[in-house]
Amino acid sequence: MRRILLISAVIALAVAGCTGTPRNAEGGRPATVGGVPTSAGTHKQKLDVGTFGHREYLLHVPAKVSGGRWRDGRPADPPALVVALHGGLATMGQMEKLTGFDRLSDEKGFLGAYPDGFMTTWNAGDCCGPAKVGDIDDVGFLAELIDRLTGAGLADPRRVYVTGFSNGAGMAYRMACERPGKIAAIGVVEGALVTECHPDRPVSAMIFHGTADENVPYHGGGRRDFNDGRPFPPASRAVAFWRRVAGLPAKGEKIKTSVSQARCESSGADGVAVAFCTVDGGTHRWPPGASAVLWDFFAAHPRAR
């Protein structure tokens, strides 16, 4: 009889140990927070945005979130969040590989999110494709994604950064135009500002553009979409716009960069900066080394309180 009671007690203790919040090995952190996994690696996630179906994104969590310090089921010091938007006719998985942000995430400790566009496109205003034609609320989707991660305490709301390539770069511009209060800085690579823009506060920006880009020409030109023959504006127009919003000098000072063939200049004040990197001979591609330069720029520019 005593043996049966002893076995029962052991089983009861084992069950009790399994019924609480699942926890990872590191620092006793929970396995999920607000339904979002916290274990190291890349996780495919779904997000209900209140419309038919759902939207998806990849979330890369570094091995050491908050330096391994957790308190009350939340990171003691929530990390930064970098949201990376793929180009047209691409996917979240391709953007993850293109940027190499996962390696930087593991090294620097920020969260990396790679959302999927609608039928491989983003509604960046006058571009592009199915997302534009369907008037998809991509601003709402990305805002909800940011809110989910910051609201759960997994990311620092003052250090949210959005970067993108091509159509995704145009979407980064649109987010800064319509949700500047959610974003500290944007990183634009081979994209154009093709949406009405009336931000109520300045946003830091780093803009890369190749002089030999034939898809989104450096000096402007081409056509905005399959059903819109208007030319893209020159890259310099967006630079001038964001500097004007921030009250910055129109001409920046030269800064060093590790990106090959890139000439960068930046102007900044009161914690806001706009940097413009011209890639001599650069085509419509993500410049090697640009991700590390973008992260350094992001890290230096949290959102002003």
For 40-53, write each residue's pLDDT tens digit.
999 999 999 987 78
Cα–Cα distance for residue pair 22/17, rounded to 1 Å: 9
In a domain, 304, yes or no: no
Least confident of 64-68, 90-94, 135-139, 174-178: 64-68
Distance from C-alpha of 109 to C-alpha of 123, rounded to nearest angstrom: 30
Per-residue confidence (pLDDT) for residue 16, from 0 to 100: 34
- Specify whether the CB–CB gap between 175 and 151 falls below 8 A: no
Q: Is the pLDDT of residue 9 over 90?
A: no
Classify residue 282: in a domain, yes or no: yes
pLDDT (0 to 100) of residue 270: 95
Q: Nearest 5 degrees, angle CA 233-CA 238-CA 244?
A: 135
Helix (H, G, I), strand (E, B) or coil at 54: coil
Across the range 163-180, mean pLDDT stands at 98
Q: Would 120 be classed as within a structural domain? A: yes
- Provide the residue range defining the domain that includes 243: 31-299
CA–CA dist 91, 95 (Å, integer): 6
Burial of 6 (0-12, 13-18, 19+ CB in 10 A): exposed
The average pLDDT across 82-100 equals: 98
Give me the pLDDT at residue 53, please. Answer: 84
**18 occurs within a structural domain:** no
Question: Does residue 240 lie in a domain region?
Answer: yes
Is the pLDDT at 217 greater than 70? The verdict is yes
Query: What is the rounded average pLDDT of the residues 201-219?
Result: 98
pTM: 0.91
- Confidence band, pLDDT 50/70/90 cuts, at residue 71: confident
11: in domain? no
- Is 118 inside any structural domain? yes
Question: Can you give the pLDDT at residue 29?
Answer: 79
pLDDT level of residue 17 (50, 70, 90 thresholds): very low
Task: Answer yes or no: is 1 within a domain.
Answer: no
Cα separation, 265 vs 248, in Å, equals 13
Confidence grade of residue 26 (pLDDT, cut at 50, 70, 90):
low
pLDDT in tens, 138-171: 999 999 999 999 999 999 999 999 999 999 999 9
Residue 228: per-residue pLDDT: 97
What's the confidence (pLDDT) of residue 32? Answer: 93
Question: What is the reported pLDDT for 28?
Answer: 64
| Residue whose structure tokens are 């369907």 | 134
Give the tens place of pLDDT for each residue, 236-275. 999 999 999 999 999 999 999 999 999 999 999 999 999 9
Count of structural domains within the chain: 1
Which CATH number covers residue 226?
A: 3.40.50.1820
Going by the DSSP 8-state scheme, the letter that residue 139 receives in this structure is H
Residue 102 has pLDDT above 60, yes or no: yes
Q: How confident is the model at residue 27 (pLDDT cuts 50, 70, 90)?
A: low
